[in-house]
Structure 1
Amino acid sequence: MIRRFLLVLTLILAAAPAFAVNPDEMLADPALEARARTLSAELRCMVCQNQSIDDSNADLAKDLRLLVRERITDGDSDDEVLNYIVSRYGEFVLLKPRFSLRTLLLWGAPVLLILAGGASLIVFARRRAGKPTGSKLTAEEQARLDELLEK
């Protein structure tokens, strides 16, 4: 009995993000609702910050979901809806920021860091390769080595 209860509880908790979009928010047209869900998955909840508005239960996320659906029913394209929301909340509202002059450093920083790390490894390896290891032989050791090599 307890195992069944735990199984049901686990299934309910696993589906918790699916409950974020309330039935009263959904559009009647399945095609428009699919567009709204796709756009909602691309937008960050400004309260939760690591969830999309589609997964968040915050009041602001609900307002944004309603705004997305309103703009879609008004006939806006997906890009127009995203541009409208970005104009109000900034680029931070996008879970995947667009590539632009402002976000060039954001997108280029990983590449620059990898290149800088590789260059520093090469420089370090070359400097190390040129340095002799150990110490010089004493006169006595050198004489003994010469004697062994002549044999």
Structure 2
Amino acid sequence: MILAAALLALAAPATPPAVGAGQTVSSAPLADTQLADPVAEAKAQALMEELRCLTCQSQSIADSNAPMAGDMRHQVRSRIAAGEEPEQVRAWLVERYGDYVTFRPGFDWATWPLYALPLLFILVAGVLLFRRIGRGGE
């Protein structure tokens, strides 16, 4: 019985340590290691809070344990450590992954509805409210 359990354990495939819900820790060196320069780390951390994890549901890469988020944290820290400004790193990530990667998409032809539709809804609600109040006074 013990021999069978030992053979079964040896035959089981080696898997990386699980973090939760099928996610594993990233192997990227700077994924979970802070930069030595506190100013550079603060810049990197602020940017990581504004970047969306591509495999998680609306979670920043700073909060995610997904391997993809770890790789993105590594990229952010290594580029900031190399002297790039956060906006340059953001632009590179947007170019690579699209506007979805950032919680603050830029204003362009593809994202203008994100900015215009709330204003349109407020305008329509205001007109409807004005008309309803105007009828009540008659």
- Tell me, in whole angstroms, the C-alpha distance in 2 between the residues paired with 1:58 and 1:108: 33
Q: Is 1:42 aligned to 2:50, yes or no?
A: yes
How do residues 2-151 of structure 1 correspond to structure 2 at under 5 angstroms? 24-126=32-134
Distance 2:32 2:109 in 1: 40
Give the whole-Å Cα distance in 2 for the aligned partners of 1:24 and 1:51. Answer: 16
Q: Taking structure 1 as reference, are residues 49 and 96 closer, same or farther at Cα in structure 2, changes over 3 Å only? A: farther
Q: What's the counterpart of residue 19 of structure 1?
A: none
SS at match of 2:52: coil
Distance 1:47 1:23, change over 3 A: closer
Q: Mind listing any 5+ residue stretches in structure 1 that lack a counterpart?
A: 1-21, 131-151
Structure with bigger RCO (C-alpha 8 Å, 6+ apart): 2
Superposed CA RMSD in Å reads 2.0
Distance 1:23 1:31 in 2: 17
Regions of 4+ moved over 6 Å: none
CA deviation string 1:100-144 (max 9, x = no partner): 3322211121111011112123334445655xxxxxxxxxxxxxx
Unmatched tracts of structure 2, length 5 or more: 1-29
Counterpart of 2:18 in structure 1 is: none
Greater fraction of residues in helix: 1
Judge conservation of contact 2:50–2:60 (CA < 8 Å) in 1: yes
% identical equivalent positions? 43
- TM-score w.r.t. the length of structure 1 is 0.64
Shift of 1:26: 1.6
TM-score, length basis structure 2: 0.69
Aligned length: 109
